[in-house]
Amino acid sequence: MGQPLVVDANGASGFDRVLLGSTLTALPVETLSAAEMATLVFMREEEKLAHDVYAQLDARWGANVRVFGNIANSEATHTEAVRQLLVRYGLPDPASALATGVFQNTSLQLLYTQLVASGTLSLTEALRAGAAIEEIDMMDINTALLAVDNQDIRLVYESLLKGSRNHLRSFVATLLNHGVTYVPQYMNVVDYSAIVATAIER
């Protein structure tokens, strides 16, 4: 069975919908805990946030760099992967009727507003906002994994982690190409350094 997360030469990491579907079908539908349910609902919107911020920043800075558009496309597959899990477990989709930049979760709504505002100030700030999103995503996914034992959810979350590591590397490399050394805003320096010191994961 193929790897459902497909990584391009620049590190943009998106799910192959067909491969993801076949991979999930081969795994059992297990009992869903309240904690697992909560992580799925949150992760659906958090991945939507990443897509929506990157889409906005691509509209502003896409003529200068391609990283936002490339990663926005990947993030669309990330939030869709979580949506597939919601469907698989018969859970309502919190993002089904939400427009771009709109979230049920008030913390995510505030974060979206802050990141788009800072990302419109300059290209450097936009790239820093992108790196911050990936840091936050990884921290939240790692926390979620502590409460998840269902095989299908773990597979998707671990793939999301791999994607976030690759996307962080892409933002950091793009900043470096513009003469800026990125300093982590949320992660501890040891964990951050271990990621950016290694190559894009395939």
Looking at the domain assignment, is residue 67 inside a domain?
A: yes
* Cα separation, 82 vs 61, whole angstroms: 28
Q: Does position 33 have pLDDT exceeding 70, yes or no?
A: yes
Q: How many CA atoms lie within 13 A of 132 on its CB side?
A: 17
- Residue 201 inside a domain? The answer is no
Residue 115: which of 180, 46, 164, 163 has the closest Cα? 46
Q: Give the residue-averaged pLDDT of 122-136.
A: 98
Cβ-based neighbour number of residue 199 at 10 Å: 8
Any idea what the CATH number is for the domain that residue 145 is in? 1.20.1260.10
Q: Which residue has the tokens 């990663």?
A: 71
pLDDT digits (tens, 9 = 90+) for 162-177: 999 999 999 999 999 9
Binned at pLDDT 50, 70 and 90, residue 155 comes out as: very high
Does residue 34 fall inside a structural domain? yes
**pLDDT recorded at residue 3:** 83
pLDDT higher than 80, residue 123: yes
| pLDDT greater than 70 at residue 36 | yes
What's this model's pTM, rounded to 2 decimal places?
0.97
Query: What is the domain range of residue 138?
Result: 14-196
Q: What is the DSSP string of 6-53?
A: EE-TT--EEE-HHHHHHHHHTS--PPPPHHHHHHHHHHHHHHHHHHHH
* Structure confidence by residue, pLDDT tens digits, 63-94: 999 999 999 999 999 999 999 999 999 999 99
In a domain, 150, yes or no: yes
- 3 inside domain: no
Q: Please tell me the predicted confidence (pLDDT) of residue 8.
A: 96
Residue 43 within any structural domain of the chain: yes
Q: Please, are residues 4 and 19 in contact by the beta-carbon 8 Å criterion?
A: yes
In the Cβ-directed half-sphere of 4, how many Cα atoms lie within 13 Å? Answer: 22
Q: Structurally, how many domains does the chain consist of?
A: 1
